[in-house]
Amino acid sequence: MQCAPASAVLATKLSKASRAQRWEVDEELDWPASIDDDAWCTSPELVSIAGTDLWASLDEPTRVRVARFEAGNFFSLTLQGERPLVAGMSDLLYSTRISPEATEYIHHFIDEENKHMAMFGRFCRTYIGKVYPEKKVNLPRRYASGERIVAMFCKIMVVEEVGDYYNVLMQADTRLPRIVREIHRVHHRDESRHIGFGRSLMRELWATYASGWSVAERAGFQAWLANYMKSSWGDFYNPSVYRDAGLDRGPDGVDPYALRREAIESPQAVELRARASRRLIGFFLREGLLEEAPSM
Ligand SMILES: [Fe+2]
Ligand SMILES: [Fe+2]
């Protein structure tokens, strides 16, 4: 008798945990009608422009205002990242490429991601007035055998593992209002299961498919992955946020695109990206999805 793959054994445990921790967006969270104007919605050191000269020159109310729109951007980019992943995961349900146990867990995964999107969407619409649109453009490309599914799980891992770095820090930051901390907490709780599942399934998918790729196909995939990670980080630096916070107005107004470039290049931001990506890059290197660590 063939023994179940490790991801199937894990999926059974995770389904059980998901059932035990089932929650609803309206019940789990206590949604206030508004958030005080002087409340930090993003930890100040995690604000995208925190390493720039401009940030150093801003007064506290302006910084707090930027931090509010930054929260809107972070929740929007997570929501926008999760949207296509739910579609990709739905396509996998009952596929022979995964175990029945994995299919069962993916039902929970989709259920939880749907709630995350509703939770992020509600935050953004209620306290920011909008959801920031998706920036990524999906260029058509040719895939090696199995590469599409491997790439999809890589995308899932990038949005989940990088986002989780922020969730873990901000769920515990008492400077933030309760609703913000709770969103990070609830998201982290579900994501720790998703991340475990993603890693386990990824190992098997990689072993199954990548062994059949040519040297050129493998190199092409690795280049794509490094670029994908980099471009995902680009979404954290959103000129619309800087405009919405009013940084382009008045006599000291700045060009939001120039500010974006300065923020991306600031040593503080480079260090933050390296720190937040370290765990995931380590996994990709160990498993062979990357050959060398890309600079973020
Ligand atoms: Fe999520
Ligand atoms: Fe997730």
Q: Model confidence over 206-230: pLDDT tens digits? A: 999 999 999 999 999 999 999 999 9
Give the C-alpha separation, 43 to 138, whole Å.
31
Ligand showing the shortest atom-to-Cα distance for residue 194: 2
Between 236 and 139, residue with greater pLDDT: 236
Tens-digit pLDDT profile for residues 43-67: 999 999 999 999 999 999 999 999 9
Can you tell me the mean pLDDT for 25-35? 97
Residue type present at position 83? R
Whether the per-residue pLDDT at 139 is higher than 80: the answer is no
Of 195, 167, 217, 219, whose CA–CA distance to 283 is shortest?
195
Q: Where are the beta strands (DSSP E) in 10-116?
A: none
Ligand showing the shortest atom-to-Cα distance for residue 115: 1
Q: Is residue 140 part of a domain?
A: no
196's CB contacts (< 8 A; 6+ apart) are: 10, 14
Q: Is residue 111 part of a domain?
A: yes
Whether the per-residue pLDDT at 140 is higher than 90: the answer is no
Give the C-alpha separation, 261 to 155, whole Å.
24
Whether the per-residue pLDDT at 1 is higher than 70: the answer is no
**In this structure, what DSSP letter does residue 45 have?**
G
Q: Is residue 34 part of a domain?
A: yes
Q: Is residue 84 part of a domain?
A: yes
pLDDT at 2: 58
With 0-12 CB in 10 A as exposed, 13-18 as middle and 19+ as buried, what is 146? middle
pTM: 0.95
Give the C-alpha separation, 78 to 74, whole Å.
6
Can you tell me the mean pLDDT for 138-147? 87
Ligand showing the shortest atom-to-Cα distance for residue 113: 1
5's CB contacts (< 8 A; 6+ apart) are: 99, 204
Range of the domain at 48: 6-135+147-287
| C-alpha 64 – ligand 1 centre gap (Å) | 26
Can you tell me the mean pLDDT for 172-180? 98
| C-alpha 295 – ligand 2 centre gap (Å) | 25
State the Cα angle at 80 between 74 and 84, rounded to 5°. 145
| C-alpha 109 – ligand 2 centre gap (Å) | 7
With 0-12 CB in 10 A as exposed, 13-18 as middle and 19+ as buried, what is 55? buried
Torsion of CA 203, 205, 210, 213, to 10 degrees: 180
pLDDT band at 87 (very low <50, low <70, confident <90, very high): very high
- Structural domain total, the chain: 1
Tens-digit pLDDT profile for residues 99-114: 999 999 999 999 999 9
pLDDT band at 138 (very low <50, low <70, confident <90, very high): confident
Ligand showing the shortest atom-to-Cα distance for residue 186: 1
| C-alpha 45 – ligand 1 centre gap (Å) | 23
pLDDT at 141: 83
Structure tokens at 86: 């739910």
Q: Is residue 277 part of a domain?
A: yes
Can you tell me the mean pLDDT for 28-50? 98
Q: Is residue 157 part of a domain?
A: yes
pLDDT band at 135 (very low <50, low <70, confident <90, very high): confident
User: What share of the chain has pLDDT > 90, as a percent?
Assistant: 94
End-to-end CA distance of the chain: 45
What residues sit around ligand 1, an ion, with C-beta below 5 angstroms?
Answer: 116
pLDDT band at 4 (very low <50, low <70, confident <90, very high): confident
Find the CATH number of the domain harbouring 199: 1.10.620.20
Tens-digit pLDDT profile for residues 197-207: 999 999 999 99
| C-alpha 140 – ligand 1 centre gap (Å) | 26
| C-alpha 63 – ligand 2 centre gap (Å) | 30
